[in-house]
Amino acid sequence: MCVCLPDVLITDKEDEAFKDIDSAFLVGAMPRREGMERKDLLAANVRIFKSQGRALDKYAKKTVKVLVVGNPANTNALICSKYAPSIPKANFSAMTRLDHNRAIAQIAAKLALCPSQVHKMIIWGNHSSTQYPDVSQATVEMGGKEVSVGEALKDNAYLESEFVNTVQKRGAAVIAARKLSSAMSAAKAAGDHMRDWFHGTTKDDWVSMAVISDGSSYGAPADVMFSFPVRISPSGEWNIVKELELNKETKERIEVTAKELLEERDMALSVCED
């Protein structure tokens, strides 16, 4: 079925931008500038996402799906959700799909495969340098069968060091190369994220999304937006993949990124003014 775009509305008025929308891509955020303290960055973004949360609460459909791309994305998504109390918290997410795609691309390139042949990648935690790209569950299609990434690569030293560092620091590498943050790859990831959220994941795979944590999964604290492996139903309901066996290193990495998210949350909430 061919669906045409009937029109485009360009506006700076919240009542027009958010009226009866089905999805929101919140891209704009205050970037960190030279000499800016972390608390100042969070304070600037609190003002932005308080306003957008209130606008969503007032004008958007209660079923709206909200994707926060602007950094610090996880904490911005949390603040936005807090100021839209009539919309379920499950309807807010932050984008770690860019990291997910980058991790898949690294493995695919290493094995001379197509990215579509890499499955069950996981990004844990925050969209920051503390995130943990985890291949312990990941598989690849090789020689007509599904094999683990570890078995296919046979290079634990690479997986434990260079691979993790490359994915964690890819954003900084892009900025260093082009003097600007990611553009096309981030747009592609946002499209991937929202497509899967609306249409569901494939039966034998999952994706990484930063979603609200209730404190019951993999040691992630409650009341933060934490990136988990999730499966999404055709109706758009996401569920965290449960009962994965995690090794000691993964648990330690989750603890580090969780600590950062708690610090960000508490700092952001400390500058909230109702």
CA gap 32, 10 in Å, rounded: 27
Q: What residues have CB less than 8 Å from 186, skipping those under 6 apart?
A: 69, 95, 98
- 193 carries an active-site annotation: no
CA gap 264, 258 in Å, rounded: 10
Please give the radius of gyration of the chain, using alpha carbons only, rounded to the nearest integer. Answer: 19
Nearest to 193 by CA among 109, 100, 87: 100
SS3 180: coil
CA gap 77, 87 in Å, rounded: 13
**Would strands 139-142 and 145-148 be described as parallel, antiparallel, or unpaired?**
antiparallel
User: Of the residues 119, 127, 193, 199, which is catalytic?
Assistant: 127
Find out whether 127 and 190 touch, Cβ atoms under 8 Å: no
CA gap 117, 7 in Å, rounded: 37
Residues that are catalytic:
127
